[in-house]
Amino acid sequence: MPTVTRRTAFPKVLIERDSDSEQSSSEEETFEEEEEEDEDGVTAAKTEKLELGSDANKKGKAPITISLKKVCKVCKKPGHEAGFKGATYIDCPMKPCFLCKFPGHTTLTCPHRATTEHGVVPAPRRRSYKPLEYVFERQLRPALPSIKPKCVIPDQVNCAVIRYHSRRVTCLEFHPTKNNILLSGDKKGQLGVWDYGKVYEKVVYGNVHSCILNNMRFNPTNDCMVYSASSDGTINCTDLETGISSSPMNLNPAGWQGPNTWKMLYGMDVNCEKGLVLVADNFGFLYMVDMRSNHSISDAILIHKKGTKVVGIHCNPIQPDILLTCGNDHFARIWDMRRIEPGSSLYNLEHKRVVNSAYFSPITGTKILTTSLDNRLRIWDSIFGNMDSPSREIVHSHDFNRYLTPFKAEWDPKDPSESLAVVGRYISENYNGAALHPIDFIDISTGQLVAEVMDPNITTISSVNKLHPRDDILATGSSRSLFIWKPKEKSEPVEEKDERKIVVCGTADKKRGKKNGNDSDESDDEGFMSKSKKSKSKTDWKLSRCSTKDNC
DNA sequence: ATAGGATGTGCCC
DNA sequence: TGGGCACCCTCCTA
């Protein structure tokens, strides 16, 4: 009988108790007792915390410790507790600052958190001639405007919410010409096409990929077609009207042969001038697909450390021969497409941890913005300058990868001074009693936090963000939801401001009872707002009405 | 209501 | 070089 066998092998059980007062916690008694027949739940019901010895399951002999002590969730030591107290997270004093990684203080008192500067660390600058200057000589546009235009950030925004992905959103892309069209990809490989001007209409193509859709790019010669790269190892080219896909590349033609051979495609970009789709895999290799023939045109080229994921590829907007890649080998690398082979990178930009994204600035292509898991945004002000170290490092909380789509700081494509970036924030702040994770607008020339966007109804972390190429619109992917943020019209009433100086805040809760939305629309709320949100408040999202339920 | 599981990276051995 | 395990603010389902 299985139970008999189990009982004979059952380990000893240690019970640690904690008296009520903190002071006596060090002298609480610890005793052992043999496990009796009634092990099912009697003790467990009384315990505040139950710990199994880490080896207990495997060896069957190690004692099981049932701890009644209050211990810190982070370091497992008694005497203090870490975790949320209301909407404020109490740090474990045994750990260094979670935000800036420097010792000597906790996250709560981190100077990079307390100020709006978010920790700008200037780097030494040196002027020197670099190969890139010669490459750029002819193409380089006139210098940036010498006087930086003032950032116009609205005081208040409206937010539309739509929830039609069955798994978390992994990437977003605005249509290059049709202003109201947003594409979204998810972890399941589905592709959403959303016209947020006609919010009753939506399309989700469920069979584009079989797992994570990591990146999307429009075909520059036919904006009805979109290329997508997926962890299923394929590039697909999907017709947005019909949803019909072709597969110009499949790196796993033989199917699943185990994790050591299964290739996943992450970083992708389109090189318009050469008519190429560039894509890279999780083993460090770059592939190229010719867009006219829809066929792979070259052998795989090792561009990052062998066996590591290449998560980002970006072609320079001015000089398409220049390529920027980044990945899990802690480097962003600059390449000349005309001679790209293992080790031929022009520059290797070192980071302390994984580089989630690396982008050239959108207009001149001369700046570089990277997001690294070491909680820092890095900016190289000019690729003609000193590339040995970044011009600035901005401490920003985004060190979290598991469960979430990786954070990527994105340029504002409309900002002529190329100084505004948007990035979601991992760490939460207490906003009137709610722990919220804002989306930050950061002036990357100063490190200043220009705006933080949040809404009391949105409690999830918004790790995917994209600014519209022409309009004042921000698209956000947060867990399975999509949000569209838009400045409030001047005629609309502006709510009282939060105590914080910098606030761009959805005001759903505050507007209760004062709604200027359309009552008859309420029945349509089903499906685009989750039930919990609906029950909390009737909101007056200006933009969205998505009529049908989640169809994924 | 709440416990548990999926999950990626880092680091250690 | 690879298995194993730990991991600070998840988020969804059963």
pTM: 0.79
CA distance A455 to A158: 9
Q: Is any atom of strand C within 7 angstroms of residue A431's beta carbon?
A: no
Beta bridge partners of A442: A421, A449
| Residues A2 and A53: beta-carbon distance below 8 Å | no
Considering all nucleic acid strands, name the nucleotide whose C1' atom is nearest to the C-alpha of residue A212: B7
Give pLDDT, residue A493: 60
Neighbours of A114 (CB within 10 A): 10
Give pLDDT, residue A418: 95
More confident residue, A198 or A141: A198
Considering all nucleic acid strands, name the nucleotide whose C1' atom is nearest to the C-alpha of residue A427: C9
Q: How confident is the model at residue A192 (pLDDT cuts 50, 70, 90)?
A: very high
Reduced to 3 states (helix: H, G, I; strand: E, B; else coil), residue A522 is helix
Covered bases, chain C (protein CB within 7 Å)? 5-12
Span CA (A221) to C1' (B13), Å? 53
Query: Does the pLDDT value for residue A32 go beyond 90?
Result: no
Give pLDDT, residue A78: 76
pLDDT in tens, A374-433: 999 999 999 998 899 999 999 999 988 888 999 999 999 999 999 999 999 999 888 888
Query: Does the pLDDT value for residue A114 go beyond 90?
Result: no
Give pLDDT, residue A95: 82
CA distance A208 to A237: 9
Span CA (A69) to C1' (B11), Å? 29
Give pLDDT, residue A163: 76
Mean of pLDDT over chain A: 74
- Nearest CA among A205, A187, A63, A114 for reference residue A477: A187
pLDDT in tens, A449-462: 888 888 888 889 99
pLDDT in tens, A507-528: 333 332 222 222 222 222 323 3
Q: Is any atom of strand C within 7 angstroms of residue A531's beta carbon?
A: no
Instruction: Tell me the H-state helices in A21-110.
Output: 42-46, 56-59
Neighbours of A530 (CB within 10 A): 16
pLDDT in tens, A466-491: 999 999 999 999 999 999 998 877 66
Span CA (A359) to C1' (C7), Å? 29
Reduced to 3 states (helix: H, G, I; strand: E, B; else coil), residue A98 is coil
Q: What is the dihedral of CA A33, A34, A36, A40, to 10 degrees?
A: 70
Query: Does the pLDDT value for residue A182 go beyond 50?
Result: yes
Give pLDDT, residue A426: 92
- Residue A183 dihedral angles phi and psi, to the nearest 5°: -105, 145
pLDDT in tens, A273-314: 999 999 999 999 999 999 999 888 888 999 999 999 999 999
Give pLDDT, residue A518: 28
- Residue A224 dihedral angles phi and psi, to the nearest 5°: -90, -10
pLDDT in tens, A46-98: 333 333 333 333 334 445 555 555 677 777 777 777 888 888 888 888 888 88
Residue at minimum CA to C1' distance from nucleotide C7? A74
pLDDT in tens, A149-163: 444 566 677 777 777
Query: Does the pLDDT value for residue A11 go beyond 60?
Result: no
More confident residue, A355 or A160: A355
Q: Is any atom of strand C within 7 angstroms of residue A404's beta carbon?
A: yes
Considering all nucleic acid strands, name the nucleotide whose C1' atom is nearest to the C-alpha of residue A479: C11
- Nearest CA among A287, A324, A329, A325 for reference residue A308: A329
The CA-to-CA distance between both ends of chain A, in Å, stands at: 45
pLDDT > 90 fraction of chain A, expressed in percent and rounded:
44
A273: left (phi over 0), alpha (psi -120 to 50) or beta: alpha
- Residue A506 CA, chain-centre distance (Å), reads 21
Query: Does the pLDDT value for residue A26 go beyond 50?
Result: no
Beta bridge partners of A158: A486
More confident residue, A140 or A51: A140
CA distance A391 to A126: 10
Written as six digits, the tokens of A101 are: 């990684």
Considering all nucleic acid strands, name the nucleotide whose C1' atom is nearest to the C-alpha of residue A373: B9
Covered bases, chain B (protein CB within 7 Å)? 6-10
pLDDT > 70 fraction of chain A, expressed in percent and rounded:
68
Q: Is any atom of strand C within 7 angstroms of residue A107's beta carbon?
A: yes
Give pLDDT, residue A137: 55
- Nearest CA among A430, A429, A409 for reference residue A419: A409
Instruction: Tell me the H-state helices in A316-408.
Output: none
pLDDT in tens, A200-248: 677 889 889 988 999 999 999 999 999 999 999 999 999 999 999 999 9
**CB within 7 A of strand B: which residues qualify?**
A 309, 311, 328, 330, 353-354, 373, 401-403, 406
Q: Is any atom of strand C within 7 angstroms of residue A460's beta carbon?
A: yes
Radius of gyration of chain A (CA): 26
Mean pLDDT along residues A357-379: 95
Span CA (A240) to C1' (B9), Å? 35
Give pLDDT, residue A133: 66
Please name the residues in contact with A307: beta carbons below 8 A apart, sequence gap of 6 or more: A283, A284
